[in-house]
Amino acid sequence: MSKYSLTDEQIEQYRNEGFLVVERLFDADDLKRVDRTIRAMTDAALKGGDFSKVLELEPEPIDGQRVPRRIFSPYDQHETFRDLAHDPRLLDKIESLISPNFNLQHSKLNMKPAKVGSAVEWHQDMAYFPHTNDDLVTTLVYLDDATEENGCLQVLPRHHTHYFEHANKEGKFAGMITEDLSSFGKPVPLPAPAGSAIFMHCITPHTSLPNKSSRPRRTLIYEYRANDAFPIYYGEMTNLAEAKFRLIRGKPAKFARFGGPRPLIPNVGKYASLYELQANAKVGK
């Protein structure tokens, strides 16, 4: 057992419910360093003209100003995010859940600014990037105190062993669950203080509401995958996603491992962010 491994009780919670919350995994100094980095990156990007490779803006201005809603691939953009992605306080817990040999599938940073932060509709992460097995862990680090008021994550427990429908009426991938979830149990909100981490199975259904409060709710996301979980090709999206692959711990796998529920293969046309796919699905594009 490594120094920062999860307990047997925590692992059982993850296996049974499809998620686990670890409060205050990162401390105030970690959060201050991340905050400084975010401010410097966004200021430089917005002043530099073409910021499309760095961040995505909220569709609606706040007090007349355009504000970021997502920073793309923070792991690749700054050493602060690489340091956190390799932090043993985090990696020892990932090892407890999937394997001593794992990679980074991708990273992103959702900003959820005050008063407007975009909603994220119900979806299952691995519906967006199918793999040969389901040993992938979505790790969300709250950079601010997260509450129901400012749009904390909500999950549907015990539904990480099967897929819901993600296609629109034309059969195209909608980026969100398109079937009625009302009969599948009550959603569980996951509020937690800044620095807390949520470890979520890649098939756990989840959502977050708009941030209508006066406080931001930024979330740093790392998707880790076992080294023997290989992507299943489904078009342009596969190659674009694999460009973000990074070896994190252990050795590369020589063979793919097959397991878990049969992977859902999304019928995706043009590459787009999850926000764009969901927005297009709502207006019938």
Report how far residue 61's alpha carbon sits from residue 278's, in angstroms, rounded to the nearest whole number: 20
Q: Which pLDDT value is given to residue 283?
A: 58
Q: Report domain extents, the chain.
A: 8-282
pLDDT tens track of the chain, all 285 residues?
A: 789 999 999 999 999 999 999 999 999 999 999 999 999 998 888 888 788 888 988 777 777 777 788 899 999 999 999 999 999 999 999 999 999 999 999 999 998 888 776 678 999 999 999 999 999 999 999 999 999 999 899 999 999 999 999 999 989 999 999 999 999 999 999 999 999 999 999 999 999 988 888 888 999 999 999 999 999 998 888 888 899 999 999 999 999 999 999 999 998 866 667 767 777 777 565
CA distance 49 to 238: 29
Dihedral of CA 210/160/175/131: which sign? positive
pLDDT value at residue 271 = 62
275, 153, 145: which is closest to 214 by C-alpha? 145
How far apart, in whole angstroms, are the C-alpha atoms of residue 140 and residue 149?
A: 18
Q: Who contacts 131 (Cβ-Cβ below 8 Å, separation ≥6)?
A: 225, 229, 230, 231, 232, 263
What is the homologous superfamily of the domain 8-282 according to CATH?
q2cbj1_9rhob like domain (2.60.120.620)
**How many angstroms separate the first and last alpha carbons of the chain?**
50
Residue 210's alpha-carbon distances to 39, 214, 222, 240, in angstroms, are 22, 12, 21, 28
